Structure 1
């Protein structure tokens, strides 16, 4: 049977099970076909009239069947592209999402491109954020932290595969295992921020992802508030804290940042125009303020 005909049938199958604005049956089918054939999506457009049979057809149909049941495409492929990097993924971590690239972009704006510094990524998962920052800022040293041992192993493997050497990954429950004297010019996190009763937990790829990386107490605010409070002890003067959160959490996160003493507090929009990243800068030390006033 021709590749384009098999693709059309697969798209129809996937469309019957797809739901919501994020449903992409055409893209899913193409990605799975390219993976089954060991080819690129561009190749499919050129050679759609070629025959597919035997082991390749069986492999493709197996992938489509698993996708029909809702299994994430990233797991079926074994990887996800994030900020230009191909990252291995696993059921132990969240699947990197395009909206989180907004967090990386905002962080890079606060990381000097000509001088070094230290950055910390809390809840690193596959290492997506930490690796993107380290790749874009080779003079910086980036540390990724996660409580899940399998996530740390995956992140280290991604770093090795990508040959990114200015990054390290350590197991810790947020700040708990860090040296109390450690200081960072930048701290970023995409922490759990979903309410356990949120209906979205039963939809799409989220159904398959680890709840520990998604759900937080106090209607999703507990980990965000913990990070805002604790990061103060690990930021250098004028260091930045950037947090990804739910689109309805911008106002309370900003309020918490202000109450905790951060300055230049604000919120950035994601690709869909929703409040997604809130940030604040830890103030200059009082001694530095006095020095500046006297000069």
Structure 2
């Protein structure tokens, strides 16, 4: 990529130029934005540590030489290598909170953010005392829950030691070491005998067909956080089989399965999943009460190895 650096003078110049290049190169926007303008603005302003809400008048500010060099390098990587903006900046936002991210974890983008902001109303009967973010990755879901429920103990659990290193860094960033902590384990493997009032999970759920067709941007994310078997449900099956043993009597299980919703419905037609709706987009998130997990546990266990 050869950028006309000598002609690009202002923030507005860079954003406009980036929008044109992003569209001409047919980049994919799926890691926090859904259009070229927002993507370009996020990258340019984020790289220079400027707020998203900055007044448009400041877009006509001229850049220093080192800022030109920085933006050129980042835009080159975004266009030629298809690196998501969050990885280029080392930061992503979720529920209005900043999180440190790199290629050891998925870029935060779950529609579960809407549920957290509403404190899971009307589904959660009371403020939870213990919350589990299962398959936590960066820890964004669990940490956001800790903000909404300031009295709750929150556990971030993941199989990946690399992901948990990132999660621990985010716990420290938000000063939550006193009540948010990490556990390493496969599904509930690191949590013997523990029960929770709320279990929330955005596990790997992409089926083989969708994974093969994913745009290049997703190839920068850890495969372990995306793909999960032919129908995407290898981990979800085990989660459902064990959830009843880790929920309190009035606990809730909330799991995102995205496009694999169709596979869940085909595999468990007997189960009355509550499929949640979102105002800001997103789909494939189900809710089960602890009583439902207990009622169907034998069924879930029988189909755990299907």
TM-score by length of structure 1 reads 0.84
- Residue 135 of structure 1 deviates from its aligned partner by 1.0
Once residues 50 and 282 of structure 2 are traced to their aligned partners in structure 1, the CA distance between those partners, rounded to angstroms, is 36
* Secondary structure in structure 2 of the residue aligned to 1:242: strand
Structure 2 residue 37 is the aligned partner of structure 1 residue 26: yes
- Residue 127 of structure 1 deviates from its aligned partner by 0.2
Q: Is the 8 A contact 1:265 1:281 kept in 2?
A: no
Give the match for residue 290 of structure 1: none
Stretch moving more, 132-141 or 198-207:
198-207
Give the match for residue 149 of structure 2: 137
Give the match for residue 291 of structure 1: none
- Residue 37 of structure 1 deviates from its aligned partner by 2.8
5 Å matches for 1:90-101?
90-101=102-113
For residue 266 of structure 1, the aligned residue among 250, 274, 278 is 274
Gap change, CA 1:152 and 1:257, over 3 Å in 2: farther
Structure 1 ranges of 4+ moved more than 4 A: 19-23, 110-113, 271-274
Gap change, CA 1:272 and 1:162, over 3 Å in 2: closer
- Residue 253 of structure 1 deviates from its aligned partner by 4.8
* Secondary structure in structure 2 of the residue aligned to 1:91: coil
Q: Count residues in correspondence.
A: 280
Cα deviation digits, residues 172-212 of structure 1 (max 9, x gap): 11111212x21111111111111123156531532211111
Give the match for residue 14 of structure 2: 6
Cα deviation digits, residues 217-274 of structure 1 (max 9, x gap): 2411221111111111111222211110123515735963955xxxx74111245666
Cα deviation digits, residues 105-155 of structure 1 (max 9, x gap): 576334466x55111111000001100111100111111101111211111
Q: Is the 8 A contact 1:236 1:282 kept in 2?
A: yes
Once residues 161 and 273 of structure 1 are traced to their aligned partners in structure 2, the CA distance between those partners, rounded to angstroms, is 29
Structure 2 residue 61 is the aligned partner of structure 1 residue 50: yes
Stretch moving more, 115-124 or 81-90:
115-124
RMSD over aligned Cα atoms? 2.8
Q: Is the 8 A contact 1:268 1:275 kept in 2?
A: yes
For residue 83 of structure 1, the aligned residue among 88, 95, 106 is 95
Give the match for residue 233 of structure 1: 245
For residue 182 of structure 2, the aligned residue among 147, 169, 179 is 169
Gaps of 5+ in 2: 1-7, 295-306
5 Å matches for 1:1-295?
1-3=8-10, 4-19=12-27, 23-43=34-54, 45-68=56-79, 69-104=81-116, 108-109=120-121, 110-111=123-124, 115-164=127-176, 165-179=178-192, 181-198=193-210, 201-203=213-215, 205-249=217-261, 252-253=264-265, 256=268, 265-271=273-279, 275-283=283-291
Gap change, CA 1:106 and 1:204, over 3 Å in 2: farther
Once residues 35 and 273 of structure 1 are traced to their aligned partners in structure 2, the CA distance between those partners, rounded to angstroms, is 24
Gaps of 5+ in 1: 287-295
Stretch moving more, 46-55 or 72-81:
46-55
- Residue 103 of structure 1 deviates from its aligned partner by 5.0
Once residues 184 and 44 of structure 2 are traced to their aligned partners in structure 1, the CA distance between those partners, rounded to angstroms, is 37
Stretch moving more, 135-144 or 101-110:
101-110
TM-score by length of structure 2 reads 0.81
